[in-house]
Structure 1
């Protein structure tokens, strides 16, 4: 299956939004507790996606250095050996850093929750992005297996894998026009890790990973099985009181002109509604109605 090529260029001609394959996991635990799991997941990811290669390592001071074994070892040790109560982060990029290229972006926090009221919902995030071509070349079965392998390493509260439109925050409303009237199955998301989703669920996706506390709020695995016993929806129990809900055999864009209703997405949205993340503000301003409406498109 071929996926649409979605591109939005800003007024200066820069690429501000583009399609990609994304795997993202939210973890409400301090960096010192999860750093080793994150490192294992990143190393696994780098190995599994070959011959795709990460070229640049962001050192965290506004600079990037070539990613070789010595560079990775420094980043690995920095993340693993962060002081108790200290944060951890890493960012690996492909040859052409952009909104639709290879990216690993980890934001680790300590403590969790943070002591500041305006950031009380922030959690650690691992954001893993691949070009859409990876999904087309390897196929959805491979991607599904890879996402499950990564998820098994991570103590997530929620996570997902999906075909997405990644956008800079400044251009989300403009980028939305690429998909709003034609591709309701495409998730509009940020071009890097965002911590403010907390223990909520960031939308409805092809692969939906649910852990605690959200799984408990939804009645556990047995409650979900009863409410989601529908064609096109599969539930897979995972260790650690977690579950994976998969909608169909591959990510569906829901092309409007083809009359795809995305019934599994709508059914899951109704079940997840109590725990779905709701945008609160953008740069201190009210969230545009277009974005709020898009986030609720499967509920309307």
Structure 2
């Protein structure tokens, strides 16, 4: 789950803290057990540790931003993760970071989906999203890797699993107010919802089997593709038709990678990002 929020930390901090507390409560008996102190150290996540981190975010002065890093038993990518990057101001004054926004990134292991079922995950995501003034967000089945290993990760899924989303192993802020691809659950707020003709315009263009639209408060909408996330095995590729339909609608507002560590983005990755449009 990932939510992009184009407002400064001091405005959204209470909502972020509520969301993380709700996440911790709802996923039990799964537990986040480590806390990044922000000083290159990690400490056990207990009530005292959480209160320090909570206050650090809530009491940050304008211009300071905020940070939160919580994870499960180990640092393995498959484990639980909460990664919040709060900026102040938004937008930042540096041209190379003008598109950066605040990001709340929440990761659950695949076992959680298998044990609780997609209906539970769907309901959890809706409950968390309701707290946040996002411009966009998503929930999906993902393969995480560092940017340095993204091409190698692509080789694992390209031939058989077009439904899998390739993403970094933590929050990335440079998506701005664009939409990071097509997913199982797609949260849209302003300004992208307005650019797409609002909820009524989306309903008209997405009145297709396998696509559901749910209006949310604050001029936001959730678009869900199917009953569960699809990895898109080639033998069942027809199930990805809703993904292709939504991609055509979202094309004007889709995020396009610009660089990777200051270098040109490999062509293979650019093609993968547009796989539902080809």
Structure 2 residue 79 is the aligned partner of structure 1 residue 96: no
Say if 1:120 and 1:67 are closer, same or farther in 2 by CA, change over 3 A: same
Give the 3-state SS of the residue equivalent to 1:182 in structure 2. coil
Native 8 Å contact 1:99 1:168 kept in 2: no
Aligned to 1:162: 140
Pairwise CA distance, 1:169? 1.1
Aligned to 2:188: 210
Question: TM-score when scaled to structure 2?
Answer: 0.99
1:95-116 Cα distance to aligned partner (Å, 9 max, x none): 1112221000000000000000
Moved more, 245-254 or 260-269: 260-269
Structure 2 residue 12 is the aligned partner of structure 1 residue 41: no
Structure 2 residue 234 is the aligned partner of structure 1 residue 256: yes
Match among 155, 159, 174 for residue 181 of structure 1: 159
**Larger fraction in helix:** 2
Structural mapping, 1:211-250, within 5 Å: 211-250=189-228
Q: Distance in 2 between matches of 1:258 and 1:269?
A: 19
Pairwise CA distance, 1:259? 3.9
Aligned to 1:296: 274
Give the 3-state SS of the residue equivalent to 2:193 in structure 1. helix
Give the 3-state SS of the residue equivalent to 2:13 in structure 1. helix
Match among 118, 121, 126 for residue 140 of structure 1: 118
Aligned to 2:51: 73
Pairwise CA distance, 1:42? 0.1
Give the 3-state SS of the residue equivalent to 1:127 in structure 2. strand
Pairwise CA distance, 1:260? 3.3
Aligned to 1:126: 104
Give the 3-state SS of the residue equivalent to 2:238 in structure 1. coil
Give the 3-state SS of the residue equivalent to 2:242 in structure 1. helix
Pairwise CA distance, 1:261? 4.9
Moved more, 259-268 or 174-183: 259-268
Q: Distance in 2 between matches of 1:94 and 1:175?
A: 23
**Larger fraction in strand:** 1
Native 8 Å contact 1:54 1:94 kept in 2: yes
1:224-260 Cα distance to aligned partner (Å, 9 max, x none): 0000000000000000000000000000111013343
Aligned to 2:176: 198
Structure 2 residue 84 is the aligned partner of structure 1 residue 84: no
Indicate the RMSD between aligned Cα atoms, in angstroms: 0.7
Aligned to 2:40: 62
Q: Distance in 1 between matches of 2:65 and 2:185?
A: 29
Q: Distance in 2 between matches of 1:187 and 1:223?
A: 26
Q: Distance in 1 between matches of 2:237 and 2:88?
A: 47
Q: Distance in 2 between matches of 1:241 and 1:198?
A: 18
Structural mapping, 1:279-290, within 5 Å: 279-290=257-268
Structure 2 residue 254 is the aligned partner of structure 1 residue 276: yes
Say if 1:112 and 1:259 are closer, same or farther in 2 by CA, change over 3 A: closer
Structural mapping, 1:17-28, within 5 Å: 23-28=1-6
